[in-house]
Structure 1
Amino acid sequence: MSKVVIALISGLLFGAGLAYSGMADPARVQSFLDLFGNWDPTLAFVMGGAVLPMAVAWMIKSRLASPLAATSFDLPGTSKIDRSLAIGAILFGMGWGIAGLCPGPALADLALAPKAVLPFVVAMFVGMAAHRFIPVSST
């Protein structure tokens, strides 16, 4: 099976999972993050339910010499928590809380509510481009 087909199937499965679980619903995400207001704990179960399959995937990965569609695993190394990482995490969390979206669900929502999510996706890509082309010092 080609890498493109595997990527397409993986993306469709991921997007369907986000839509089915409610993680692509900005109102549900914002309710989950509203701990002292109208808190909706259902996404905690979704995130908790993701731990078991991920644990199984890591166990399978440790027994494989290479992935099915590549010559080697391409995993990021462990890095220290620095200023750039902390600022990026804060900005990500603020954006997630304000918009109720993060990159995966935003892309999935392009199929569900394109007009509502398009400004977020455009801003996301502008931010990604800015990060790529504007040098950032980590000291």
Structure 2
Amino acid sequence: MRFVLTYFIGLVFGIGISISGMANPAKVLNFFDVAGTWDPSLMFVMGGALITTFIGYRLTLGRKAPLFAAKFALPTARQLDAKLLGGSAVFGVGWGIAGFCPGGALPALGTGRSEVLIFVAALIAGIVIARLLQSIATRNAQAA
């Protein structure tokens, strides 16, 4: 049942990303082009996502536990650190350059377009490099 539910949630997410235009890098890049061909429709997509998330969190976190786990896995860190700020900056720059974010690129993989494949390959490489750097930093901190 968990697999079916996960598949269904991913399917709904992918359809929503596709219908909203978030899988189209030109639409995303036009949102960032405020001095040129600005397309404000992305604000409505983001606003709808925020409202849905707000309501969903209120309903879901009101439960004692999730359906398929013993407890909720929520972040506990509250501080702004270099990792968070640096990761956010890299995410924003990458989104502005490529017109893709991970959420929009994964459903777009089905198109087979080369720019999507290159973006996802770069995304995976970035994850691997970040984990490697974190591992090195942890090892250096333990050695000191």
The percentage of aligned residue pairs carrying the same residue is 42
Which structure 1 residue ranges, 4+ long, deviate > 6 Å from structure 2?
none
User: In the TM superposition, what are the counterparts of 1:117-132 in structure 2 within 5 Å?
Assistant: 117-132=116-131
Alignment map for 1:55-134 (pairs within 5 Å): 55-134=54-133
Structure number, greater radius of gyration: 2
What is the aligned partner in structure 2 of residue 14 from structure 1? 13
**Structure 2 unaligned blocks of 5 or more:** 138-144
Distance between the aligned counterparts of 1:122 and 1:36, measured in 2? 31
| Structure-1 residue corresponding to 2:41 | 42
Q: 1: CA distance between counterparts of 2:11 and 2:133?
A: 32
Give the aligned residue type for 2:118: P
Aligned to 1:53: 52
For 1:126 and 1:116, the matched residues in 2 are separated by 15
What's the TM-score once normalised by structure 1's chain length? 0.90
Farther-moved stretch of structure 1 (54-63 vs 25-34): 54-63
Q: Deviations over 1:18-67 (max 9, x none)?
A: 00001111000000011222110001011111222212111112320111
Alpha carbon RMSD of aligned pairs, Å?
Answer: 1.5
Measure, in 2, the Cα distance between the counterparts of 1:63 and 1:83: 32
Alignment coverage as a number of residue pairs? 136
